Structure 1
Amino acid sequence: MEEIYNNAEDDKSHYLRPSTDQTGSRSSKRRRPVADFLCLGLLSVFLVIGLIGLGVHYYTSVSSLTEERDQLKTNLNEMTEENNNLQSLSKKKTTCPDGWTKLCSSCYFLSTERGSWTTGREDCRTRGADLVVIDSIEEQTFLSTFTNMSTWIGLSDRDKEGTWKWVDGTLLTVKFWFWASNQPDNGNGVTEWGEEHCVHILGWGSSNWNDYSCEAYLLWICEKPAQF
């Protein structure tokens, strides 16, 4: 009888003893919601950071586009104003003083006396002008009808031999190059001609250029802008 009782106690204790497998399973189940919550929390944080980054990028892009738009608008207004000014000026009629001849936007004066290249330039300056600077084929063609005698123009190599420069400081370019045949030659070595550093229109049927002694006595052509 006692043996049966002991066996019954053993069976009872067997059923009442908690299973280690079941305990571990319950503990694992309790930890999973916590882990899921942490993952969701991290995802939310990353999402918020991403949204903030997108917002900053959007704001920066919009600000940059706004600045570019404002700059373009300013440039357009300036160009419009400049265009209006040019149109207004184009409608105004330019004139030249008495005794001067007008071509495009310039006035020309042919002297009635002769003198050296320097004398001619000084006279032009007293008239608010300077010796003529030829910078177009149209101007060269016009001057061929403006004078038929040897006439000083505003070109020389007085500062440096062989470097031809206009009185306004610009250098002579091949584009507007109207030298007579075999010119310039600096006197071609003939002593009686001396150094030839100043330029004149040949005249007498030719509008081409020749280098000549700056002290020679010739007519001269002055040029200045036409006035509104």
Structure 2
Amino acid sequence: MEMIYDDVNSANNKSSRCMGNQVTSSKRTKVLLIVLGVSLVLALGGLCVLGFMSMARELEELTANYTNYREKFDALHNQHEETLRKLNRLNPSTGCALCAVNWIYSGGKCYYFSTVKMNWTQSRDHCVSRGGHLVIINSQAEQDFLSSKVKVTHWIGLNDLDTEGHWVWVNNQPLNDSAEFWMKREDGVSEPDNWTEGHPAGEDCASLGHPGGDTEIWMDAFCFQEKRFVCEAAAAV
């Protein structure tokens, strides 16, 4: 009986050791799987970081290239515009300059678009000092040309300073009704309206364009206001 009991105990001990070994092996497997999983996550994370860094470098290079190309494009565009300005100043027959530097040729006339602001009287005198006068607009074609060249309101050579409502150009010629481009309003109150609020003398000088940005119409304005202006002179022959 003792021998049978010992054999049973021995078998039980062996079974316990096998089960213990199996448990230990299972734990090790789980640990290895966990370590492997963490390693994969870290590896994927590292790849993502490397990918983001690579994308960031590529984006930075693309931005730098865009900036470089944009600067080159702007430089070429400016050169193109300057070349056109020079060509527009030349008589195609003689090759001589039709207009002075910084003046633009169109339709047999030369035009100067100011970059500074002055009141109407100062603008008129400045044009005279440049060998011209404030622009006189005689046709739809001339109006279209001028409005296409400006983005803000400019003084023109039209006023009713001497007699209210009697508009004359700086050469003392009266306004031609067939070539006038006053702003028309739907409510019937169109330009010139001689607005007197804030200044009893009213609006006695004409400008090309609305202060809000529309440059295809005329408006009367207070002569003391400072605006850019357009000068006109005859082209050389």
Tell me the amino acid that sits aligned with residue 197 of structure 1. D
Q: Is the 8 A contact 1:152 1:200 kept in 2?
A: yes
- 1:161 is aligned, of 157, 161, 164, to 164
Tell me the amino acid that sits aligned with residue 154 of structure 2. T
1:200 counterpart residue number: 207
Query: Residues 191-225 of structure 1: CA distance to partner in whole angstroms, max 9, x if unpaired?
Result: 35751000001251332000001000000100000
- 1:184 is aligned, of 186, 192, 195, to 192
2:222 counterpart residue number: 213
2:6 counterpart residue number: none
Q: Which protein shows a greater Rg? A: 1
1:173 counterpart residue number: 176
Superposed CA RMSD in Å reads 2.0
Q: Is the 8 A contact 2:109 2:234 kept in 1?
A: yes
1:106 counterpart residue number: 109
User: 1:117 and 1:111 mapped to 2: Cα distance?
Assistant: 13
Query: Residues 64-98 of structure 1: CA distance to partner in whole angstroms, max 9, x if unpaired?
Result: xxxxxxxxxxxxxxxxxxxxxxxxx9966661111
1:129 counterpart residue number: 132
The CA deviation at 1:102 is 0.5
Identify, as 1 or 2, the structure richer in helix. Answer: 1
User: 1:217 and 1:193 mapped to 2: Cα distance?
Assistant: 18
1:140 counterpart residue number: 143
1:34 counterpart residue number: none
1:225 counterpart residue number: 234
Tell me the amino acid that sits aligned with residue 146 of structure 1. K
The CA deviation at 1:190 is 2.1
The CA deviation at 1:177 is 1.2
The CA deviation at 1:112 is 1.0
User: 2:181 and 2:114 mapped to 1: Cα distance?
Assistant: 22
Equivalent residues, number: 139
Question: Does the C-alpha gap of structure 1 residues 108 and 193 become closer, same or farther in structure 2, counting only changes over 3 Å?
Answer: farther
Question: Does the C-alpha gap of structure 1 residues 193 and 207 become closer, same or farther in structure 2, counting only changes over 3 Å?
Answer: farther
Query: Residues 125-168 of structure 1: CA distance to partner in whole angstroms, max 9, x if unpaired?
Result: 01110000000111000011111111000000011111000011
The CA deviation at 1:183 is 0.5
Q: Give TM-score scaled by structure 1 length.
A: 0.57
User: 1:193 and 1:178 mapped to 2: Cα distance?
Assistant: 25
User: 1:155 and 1:206 mapped to 2: Cα distance?
Assistant: 16
Q: Is the 8 A contact 2:111 2:230 kept in 1?
A: yes
Question: Does the C-alpha gap of structure 1 residues 91 and 100 become closer, same or farther in structure 2, counting only changes over 3 Å?
Answer: same
User: 2:200 and 2:116 mapped to 1: Cα distance?
Assistant: 22
Q: Secondary structure at the match of 1:186?
A: coil
